[in-house]
Structure 1
Amino acid sequence: MNHTTPPTAPKPVESPHLQSTRLFGRAREVTIEHAGEIYRLRLTSNNKLILIK
C-alpha cells in the first residue's frame, strides 16, 4: 500500500501594510521607480491618492 501525502496549497503572501504618513512624511508627492519607469504618487487637496506615470 502506497501512502502519499496530498499536496499542500501554497501559503498566501500577505501584502505589506504602509501608513501613508510614513510614505509621504511632510511631502505631498513621492516618486516610485518600477521596471525602469518613474511614477509619481500624489496626495490631493481632497486627501485622495493619484498615481501618475
Structure 2
Amino acid sequence: MTMPADEQPDLSQASDTPVDRAIDLRVVDSRELLRGDREVLIRHSDQIYRLRLTKSGKLILQK
C-alpha cells in the first residue's frame, strides 16, 4: 500500500537515522487491519496479541 503524496513524510532534510531508513518499510493503514472493528487479534508465532482502537482514536497493542 502506497501513501498518498500529501501524507508522505518530508525527506528533504533526510539523514541516516532509523526513522529515515524506515521509509523503505511497508506501510499498513490501521483501517485495513481493523476493517471497521474496534479491535483485532494478531497471532505472532504461538502468541496472541490484541490491537485495540480507543475512544480517543489511539491504538493499544496488548499481549
TM > 0.5 between the two? Answer: yes
Q: What TM-score, normalized by structure 1, do the two folds share?
A: 0.69
- RMSD of Structure 2 on Structure 1 (CA): 1.6
1:44 equivalenced with 2:54 (yes/no): yes
**Which one has a larger percent strand, Structure 1 or Structure 2?**
1
What stretches of structure 1 of length at least 5 have no aligned partner? 1-11
Letter in 1 for 2:48: I
Identical-residue share of aligned pairs (%): 45
Aligned length: 42
What stretches of structure 2 of length at least 5 have no aligned partner? 1-20
The structure that has the greater radius of gyration is 1
**Which one has a larger percent helix, Structure 1 or Structure 2?**
2
Q: What TM-score, normalized by structure 2, do the two folds share?
A: 0.59
TM-superposition CA deviations, 1:1-53 (whole Å, max 9, x none): xxxxxxxxxxx783210111111111000111112000000000000000011
